[in-house]
Amino acid sequence: MSFLWPQHLWWMLALPLLVLLYLWLLRRRVKVALRVSSIGTARAAQGRTLRRHLPPALLLLALGLLLLALARPVGRVMLPGAKSTVLLALDVSLSMRVTDVKPTRMVAAQEAAKSFLQDLPRDIDVGVITFAGTAQVAQQPTRDRPSLVGAIDGIQMQRGTALGSAIVVCLAELFPGQGIDLADMVFGPQRRPLNPERQAKAEAQAFTPVAPGSYKPAVIILLSDGRRTTGVDTLQAAQMAADRGVRVHVIGLGTPDGHLAAGEGMAFYLQLDEATLREVARMTGGEYHSAASAQALHKVYQELGSKVLLQTRETELTALLCLLAACLLVAGSGLSLKWYGHMA
Protein backbone atom coordinates (compact mmCIF):
# COMPACT_ATOMS: atom_id res chain seq x y z
CA MET A 1 0.00 0.00 0.00
CA SER A 2 1.20 3.51 -0.79
CA PHE A 3 -0.12 6.98 0.02
CA LEU A 4 -0.72 10.03 -2.14
CA TRP A 5 -0.47 12.37 0.86
CA PRO A 6 1.89 10.53 3.25
CA GLN A 7 2.56 13.70 5.26
CA HIS A 8 -0.91 13.32 6.81
CA LEU A 9 0.06 10.02 8.43
CA TRP A 10 1.38 12.06 11.35
CA TRP A 11 -2.25 12.51 12.43
CA MET A 12 -2.27 8.81 13.39
CA LEU A 13 -0.18 9.75 16.44
CA ALA A 14 -3.35 11.29 17.89
CA LEU A 15 -4.88 7.84 18.42
CA PRO A 16 -2.76 6.71 21.37
CA LEU A 17 -3.25 10.16 22.91
CA LEU A 18 -7.02 9.70 22.64
CA VAL A 19 -6.76 6.31 24.31
CA LEU A 20 -4.83 7.84 27.20
CA LEU A 21 -7.41 10.63 27.43
CA TYR A 22 -10.22 8.06 27.61
CA LEU A 23 -8.49 6.15 30.40
CA TRP A 24 -7.90 9.37 32.32
CA LEU A 25 -11.57 10.31 32.06
CA LEU A 26 -12.57 6.91 33.39
CA ARG A 27 -10.39 7.33 36.45
CA ARG A 28 -11.97 10.71 37.16
CA ARG A 29 -15.44 9.27 37.43
CA VAL A 30 -16.93 8.96 40.86
CA LYS A 31 -16.32 5.44 42.19
CA VAL A 32 -19.50 3.76 43.31
CA ALA A 33 -19.25 0.95 45.81
CA LEU A 34 -20.64 -2.30 44.46
CA ARG A 35 -21.81 -4.85 46.92
CA VAL A 36 -21.49 -8.29 45.50
CA SER A 37 -24.18 -10.53 46.91
CA SER A 38 -23.53 -13.55 44.69
CA ILE A 39 -21.25 -14.90 41.99
CA GLY A 40 -24.00 -14.33 39.40
CA THR A 41 -24.20 -10.66 40.30
CA ALA A 42 -20.41 -10.35 40.00
CA ARG A 43 -20.41 -11.91 36.56
CA ALA A 44 -23.24 -9.65 35.39
CA ALA A 45 -21.36 -6.61 36.65
CA GLN A 46 -18.22 -7.75 34.86
CA GLY A 47 -20.21 -8.16 31.62
CA ARG A 48 -21.60 -4.66 31.92
CA THR A 49 -18.10 -3.29 32.58
CA LEU A 50 -16.71 -4.88 29.43
CA ARG A 51 -19.72 -3.81 27.37
CA ARG A 52 -19.33 -0.16 28.34
CA HIS A 53 -16.00 0.00 26.43
CA LEU A 54 -17.34 -1.36 23.12
CA PRO A 55 -19.01 1.83 21.75
CA PRO A 56 -15.94 4.02 22.47
CA ALA A 57 -13.71 1.37 20.89
CA LEU A 58 -15.82 1.39 17.70
CA LEU A 59 -15.77 5.18 17.58
CA LEU A 60 -12.00 5.21 18.10
CA LEU A 61 -11.51 2.67 15.30
CA ALA A 62 -13.72 4.76 12.99
CA LEU A 63 -11.63 7.83 13.78
CA GLY A 64 -8.47 5.86 13.00
CA LEU A 65 -9.83 4.90 9.57
CA LEU A 66 -10.72 8.52 8.85
CA LEU A 67 -7.23 9.68 9.82
CA LEU A 68 -5.75 6.99 7.56
CA ALA A 69 -8.05 8.14 4.75
CA LEU A 70 -6.56 11.64 5.05
CA ALA A 71 -3.32 10.23 3.61
CA ARG A 72 -5.24 8.93 0.53
CA PRO A 73 -4.04 5.29 0.54
CA VAL A 74 -3.60 3.48 -2.79
CA GLY A 75 -3.70 -0.31 -3.12
CA ARG A 76 -3.42 -2.86 -5.94
CA VAL A 77 -6.78 -4.55 -6.49
CA MET A 78 -8.30 -6.77 -9.16
CA LEU A 79 -10.93 -4.88 -11.18
CA PRO A 80 -12.70 -5.43 -14.53
CA GLY A 81 -11.39 -3.41 -17.46
CA ALA A 82 -13.29 -0.30 -18.54
CA LYS A 83 -14.23 -1.92 -21.86
CA SER A 84 -14.15 -5.70 -21.58
CA THR A 85 -15.05 -8.35 -24.14
CA VAL A 86 -15.08 -12.13 -23.88
CA LEU A 87 -15.38 -14.22 -27.04
CA LEU A 88 -16.58 -17.80 -26.56
CA ALA A 89 -15.33 -19.95 -29.44
CA LEU A 90 -17.28 -23.23 -29.31
CA ASP A 91 -16.54 -26.40 -31.27
CA VAL A 92 -19.73 -27.56 -33.00
CA SER A 93 -18.28 -30.49 -34.94
CA LEU A 94 -20.28 -33.72 -35.15
CA SER A 95 -18.09 -35.40 -32.55
CA MET A 96 -19.74 -33.15 -29.95
CA ARG A 97 -22.77 -35.49 -30.17
CA VAL A 98 -20.92 -38.25 -28.36
CA THR A 99 -22.26 -39.21 -24.92
CA ASP A 100 -19.04 -39.88 -23.00
CA VAL A 101 -19.71 -36.52 -21.31
CA LYS A 102 -23.31 -36.71 -20.11
CA PRO A 103 -25.80 -36.13 -21.55
CA THR A 104 -23.67 -35.26 -24.61
CA ARG A 105 -20.55 -33.21 -25.11
CA MET A 106 -22.53 -30.52 -26.89
CA VAL A 107 -25.23 -30.23 -24.23
CA ALA A 108 -22.62 -30.18 -21.46
CA ALA A 109 -20.72 -27.43 -23.29
CA GLN A 110 -23.90 -25.41 -23.81
CA GLU A 111 -24.98 -25.67 -20.17
CA ALA A 112 -21.50 -24.77 -18.92
CA ALA A 113 -21.34 -21.76 -21.25
CA LYS A 114 -24.74 -20.51 -20.06
CA SER A 115 -23.71 -20.94 -16.44
CA PHE A 116 -20.56 -18.97 -17.25
CA LEU A 117 -22.72 -16.13 -18.61
CA GLN A 118 -24.75 -16.00 -15.40
CA ASP A 119 -21.64 -15.67 -13.23
CA LEU A 120 -19.91 -13.11 -15.45
CA PRO A 121 -20.32 -9.42 -14.48
CA ARG A 122 -23.09 -7.72 -16.47
CA ASP A 123 -20.82 -4.92 -17.70
CA ILE A 124 -18.73 -7.35 -19.79
CA ASP A 125 -19.61 -7.83 -23.45
CA VAL A 126 -19.73 -11.45 -24.62
CA GLY A 127 -19.70 -12.80 -28.17
CA VAL A 128 -20.22 -16.35 -29.44
CA ILE A 129 -18.14 -17.84 -32.27
CA THR A 130 -18.94 -21.34 -33.52
CA PHE A 131 -16.66 -23.48 -35.64
CA ALA A 132 -16.68 -26.83 -37.40
CA GLY A 133 -15.61 -27.01 -41.07
CA THR A 134 -15.45 -23.21 -40.96
CA ALA A 135 -16.01 -20.52 -38.35
CA GLN A 136 -18.67 -17.85 -38.04
CA VAL A 137 -20.03 -15.27 -35.60
CA ALA A 138 -23.16 -16.70 -33.96
CA GLN A 139 -23.63 -13.59 -31.80
CA GLN A 140 -21.65 -10.37 -31.88
CA PRO A 141 -20.35 -9.10 -28.52
CA THR A 142 -23.25 -7.83 -26.44
CA ARG A 143 -24.42 -7.46 -22.86
CA ASP A 144 -27.81 -8.87 -23.78
CA ARG A 145 -27.63 -12.23 -21.98
CA PRO A 146 -30.91 -13.64 -23.44
CA SER A 147 -29.55 -13.09 -26.96
CA LEU A 148 -26.37 -14.93 -26.03
CA VAL A 149 -28.32 -17.82 -24.52
CA GLY A 150 -30.40 -17.99 -27.71
CA ALA A 151 -27.23 -18.15 -29.81
CA ILE A 152 -25.83 -20.96 -27.66
CA ASP A 153 -29.11 -22.93 -27.74
CA GLY A 154 -29.39 -22.49 -31.51
CA ILE A 155 -26.07 -24.17 -32.34
CA GLN A 156 -26.12 -26.39 -35.45
CA MET A 157 -23.40 -29.07 -35.67
CA GLN A 158 -21.40 -29.69 -38.85
CA ARG A 159 -18.47 -31.74 -40.12
CA GLY A 160 -14.83 -30.72 -39.70
CA THR A 161 -12.79 -28.81 -37.10
CA ALA A 162 -11.29 -25.46 -38.07
CA LEU A 163 -9.53 -24.45 -34.86
CA GLY A 164 -7.29 -21.84 -36.47
CA SER A 165 -10.17 -20.30 -38.38
CA ALA A 166 -12.08 -19.82 -35.11
CA ILE A 167 -9.21 -17.78 -33.66
CA VAL A 168 -8.95 -15.70 -36.85
CA VAL A 169 -12.70 -14.90 -36.79
CA CYS A 170 -12.37 -13.85 -33.14
CA LEU A 171 -9.50 -11.51 -34.04
CA ALA A 172 -11.45 -10.06 -36.96
CA GLU A 173 -14.29 -9.32 -34.54
CA LEU A 174 -11.98 -7.67 -32.01
CA PHE A 175 -9.98 -5.65 -34.58
CA PRO A 176 -12.38 -4.74 -37.42
CA GLY A 177 -10.05 -2.01 -38.67
CA GLN A 178 -7.12 -4.32 -39.34
CA GLY A 179 -8.63 -5.96 -42.41
CA ILE A 180 -8.35 -9.54 -41.12
CA ASP A 181 -10.10 -11.67 -43.75
CA LEU A 182 -10.57 -15.41 -43.12
CA ALA A 183 -11.43 -16.10 -46.77
CA ASP A 184 -8.19 -14.47 -47.92
CA MET A 185 -6.20 -16.62 -45.52
CA VAL A 186 -7.91 -19.86 -46.59
CA PHE A 187 -8.21 -19.33 -50.34
CA GLY A 188 -5.60 -16.65 -50.99
CA PRO A 189 -6.01 -12.92 -51.77
CA GLN A 190 -5.68 -13.45 -55.56
CA ARG A 191 -9.17 -14.93 -55.87
CA ARG A 192 -10.68 -11.40 -56.25
CA PRO A 193 -9.50 -8.15 -57.83
CA LEU A 194 -7.65 -5.91 -55.38
CA ASN A 195 -10.03 -2.94 -55.50
CA PRO A 196 -9.35 0.27 -53.54
CA GLU A 197 -11.38 -0.95 -50.57
CA ARG A 198 -9.46 -4.21 -50.31
CA GLN A 199 -6.21 -2.32 -50.86
CA ALA A 200 -7.04 -0.12 -47.85
CA LYS A 201 -7.80 -3.23 -45.80
CA ALA A 202 -4.51 -4.79 -46.80
CA GLU A 203 -2.64 -1.67 -45.74
CA ALA A 204 -4.56 -1.59 -42.47
CA GLN A 205 -3.26 -5.06 -41.64
CA ALA A 206 0.22 -3.65 -41.04
CA PHE A 207 0.69 -3.17 -37.32
CA THR A 208 3.36 -3.34 -34.66
CA PRO A 209 3.33 -6.60 -32.67
CA VAL A 210 2.91 -6.30 -28.92
CA ALA A 211 3.78 -8.60 -26.02
CA PRO A 212 1.59 -11.74 -25.73
CA GLY A 213 -1.26 -11.26 -23.28
CA SER A 214 -0.78 -7.49 -23.07
CA TYR A 215 -4.13 -6.60 -24.69
CA LYS A 216 -6.32 -6.26 -21.60
CA PRO A 217 -9.76 -5.30 -23.01
CA ALA A 218 -10.53 -8.74 -24.49
CA VAL A 219 -9.92 -12.45 -24.11
CA ILE A 220 -10.84 -15.55 -26.12
CA ILE A 221 -12.08 -18.79 -24.53
CA LEU A 222 -11.73 -21.65 -27.01
CA LEU A 223 -13.39 -25.02 -26.41
CA SER A 224 -12.67 -28.01 -28.63
CA ASP A 225 -12.91 -31.80 -28.42
CA GLY A 226 -10.74 -32.66 -31.43
CA ARG A 227 -7.94 -31.56 -33.73
CA ARG A 228 -7.76 -29.30 -36.76
CA THR A 229 -8.94 -30.92 -39.98
CA THR A 230 -9.37 -27.85 -42.17
CA GLY A 231 -9.00 -24.08 -42.27
CA VAL A 232 -6.15 -21.87 -41.10
CA ASP A 233 -3.22 -23.55 -39.35
CA THR A 234 -3.88 -23.47 -35.60
CA LEU A 235 -0.45 -22.21 -34.54
CA GLN A 236 -0.43 -19.58 -37.31
CA ALA A 237 -3.69 -18.22 -35.91
CA ALA A 238 -2.30 -18.41 -32.37
CA GLN A 239 0.70 -16.34 -33.46
CA MET A 240 -1.68 -13.72 -34.87
CA ALA A 241 -3.41 -13.55 -31.49
CA ALA A 242 -0.08 -13.40 -29.66
CA ASP A 243 1.16 -10.55 -31.87
CA ARG A 244 -1.97 -8.59 -30.97
CA GLY A 245 -1.62 -9.33 -27.26
CA VAL A 246 -4.89 -11.30 -27.09
CA ARG A 247 -4.94 -14.14 -24.57
CA VAL A 248 -6.55 -17.42 -25.62
CA HIS A 249 -7.71 -19.66 -22.79
CA VAL A 250 -8.23 -23.18 -24.12
CA ILE A 251 -10.52 -25.93 -22.82
CA GLY A 252 -9.81 -29.43 -24.10
CA LEU A 253 -12.91 -31.65 -23.93
CA GLY A 254 -11.98 -35.32 -24.36
CA THR A 255 -8.86 -37.48 -24.11
CA PRO A 256 -5.53 -37.22 -25.97
CA ASP A 257 -5.31 -40.96 -26.78
CA GLY A 258 -8.48 -40.92 -28.87
CA HIS A 259 -10.91 -43.65 -29.79
CA LEU A 260 -13.77 -44.38 -32.13
CA ALA A 261 -17.28 -43.72 -30.88
CA ALA A 262 -20.69 -43.87 -32.49
CA GLY A 263 -23.19 -41.07 -32.39
CA GLU A 264 -26.54 -41.26 -34.19
CA GLY A 265 -25.30 -44.08 -36.40
CA MET A 266 -22.02 -42.33 -37.32
CA ALA A 267 -18.46 -43.08 -36.17
CA PHE A 268 -16.21 -40.26 -34.96
CA TYR A 269 -12.51 -40.25 -34.27
CA LEU A 270 -12.21 -38.47 -30.95
CA GLN A 271 -8.50 -37.79 -30.57
CA LEU A 272 -7.80 -34.50 -28.80
CA ASP A 273 -4.78 -32.59 -30.06
CA GLU A 274 -3.82 -31.56 -26.55
CA ALA A 275 -0.23 -30.68 -27.45
CA THR A 276 -1.33 -28.07 -29.99
CA LEU A 277 -4.02 -26.68 -27.69
CA ARG A 278 -1.50 -26.29 -24.88
CA GLU A 279 0.83 -24.50 -27.27
CA VAL A 280 -1.94 -22.09 -28.30
CA ALA A 281 -2.48 -21.17 -24.65
CA ARG A 282 1.26 -20.84 -24.02
CA MET A 283 1.92 -18.68 -27.07
CA THR A 284 -0.85 -16.23 -26.23
CA GLY A 285 -0.30 -16.00 -22.48
CA GLY A 286 -3.51 -17.90 -21.73
CA GLU A 287 -4.24 -21.06 -19.77
CA TYR A 288 -5.02 -24.63 -20.83
CA HIS A 289 -7.67 -26.64 -18.99
CA SER A 290 -8.64 -30.26 -19.51
CA ALA A 291 -12.26 -31.30 -18.93
CA ALA A 292 -13.32 -34.95 -19.14
CA SER A 293 -16.79 -34.60 -17.58
CA ALA A 294 -19.67 -32.15 -17.32
CA GLN A 295 -18.73 -31.35 -13.70
CA ALA A 296 -15.13 -30.68 -14.68
CA LEU A 297 -16.27 -28.45 -17.53
CA HIS A 298 -18.45 -26.37 -15.17
CA LYS A 299 -15.52 -26.03 -12.77
CA VAL A 300 -13.22 -24.85 -15.56
CA TYR A 301 -15.69 -22.18 -16.64
CA GLN A 302 -16.08 -21.03 -13.02
CA GLU A 303 -12.30 -20.71 -12.66
CA LEU A 304 -12.02 -18.78 -15.89
CA GLY A 305 -14.94 -16.54 -14.94
CA SER A 306 -13.07 -15.45 -11.83
CA LYS A 307 -9.94 -14.59 -13.84
CA VAL A 308 -10.83 -13.28 -17.29
CA LEU A 309 -10.55 -9.56 -17.87
CA LEU A 310 -9.61 -8.77 -14.28
CA GLN A 311 -6.74 -6.33 -14.16
CA THR A 312 -4.48 -5.53 -11.24
CA ARG A 313 -4.65 -1.79 -10.94
CA GLU A 314 -3.63 0.80 -8.37
CA THR A 315 -6.83 2.22 -6.94
CA GLU A 316 -7.34 4.87 -4.29
CA LEU A 317 -8.98 3.36 -1.20
CA THR A 318 -10.05 6.62 0.48
CA ALA A 319 -13.75 6.17 -0.28
CA LEU A 320 -13.72 2.59 1.00
CA LEU A 321 -12.09 3.59 4.28
CA CYS A 322 -14.58 6.42 4.72
CA LEU A 323 -17.45 3.99 4.15
CA LEU A 324 -16.10 1.57 6.75
CA ALA A 325 -15.59 4.43 9.18
CA ALA A 326 -19.18 5.59 8.68
CA CYS A 327 -20.46 2.06 9.41
CA LEU A 328 -18.42 1.90 12.61
CA LEU A 329 -19.64 5.35 13.67
CA VAL A 330 -23.27 4.30 13.18
CA ALA A 331 -22.70 1.03 15.02
CA GLY A 332 -20.90 2.65 17.95
CA SER A 333 -23.42 5.47 18.29
CA GLY A 334 -26.36 3.08 18.00
CA LEU A 335 -25.04 0.75 20.71
CA SER A 336 -24.31 3.66 23.02
CA LEU A 337 -27.84 5.07 22.64
CA LYS A 338 -29.41 1.64 23.06
CA TRP A 339 -27.49 0.64 26.18
CA TYR A 340 -27.02 3.97 27.96
CA GLY A 341 -29.42 6.42 26.34
CA HIS A 342 -26.64 8.81 25.33
CA MET A 343 -23.55 8.98 23.13
CA ALA A 344 -20.40 7.33 24.47
Residues 214-272 have pLDDT tens digits of 998 899 999 998 889 999 999 999 999 999 999 999 999 876 655 555 555 444 556 67
Higher pLDDT, 80 or 208: 208
Residue 36: predicted pLDDT: 46
Residue 42: predicted pLDDT: 47
Please tell me the least confidently modeled range out of 35-49, 82-96, 125-139. Answer: 35-49
β strands within 56-199, DSSP E: 73-80, 85-91, 125-131, 135-142
Nearest to 163 by CA among 263, 260, 247, 93: 93
Residue 40 has pLDDT above 60, yes or no: no
User: All domains of the chain, ordered by start, with CATH?
Assistant: 2-77+315-340 (no CATH), 82-308 (3.40.50.410)
Listed in sequence order, the residues at least 6 apart from 324 whose beta carbon sits closer than 8 Å to its beta carbon are 62, 65
Residue 189 has pLDDT above 80, yes or no: no
pTM of the model: 0.66
- Decide: 142 and 127 in contact? Cβ < 8 Å: yes
Nearest to 128 by CA among 92, 171, 86, 159: 86
- Long-range CB pairs of 202-205, under 8 A, 24+ apart, other chains included: 203/179, 204/177, 204/178, 204/179, 205/178, 205/179, 205/180
What gap in Å lies between CA 264 and CA 97, rounded to an integer? Answer: 8
Helix (H) or strand (E) holding 247: strand 247-253
Higher pLDDT, 39 or 12: 12
pLDDT tens digits for 86-111?
999 999 998 888 887 888 889 999 99
By CB neighbour count within 10 A (0-12 exposed, 13-18 middle, 19+ buried), where does 335 fall? Answer: middle
- Mean confidence (pLDDT) of the chain: 81
Please tell me the least confidently modeled range out of 40-44, 73-77, 117-121, 245-249. Answer: 40-44
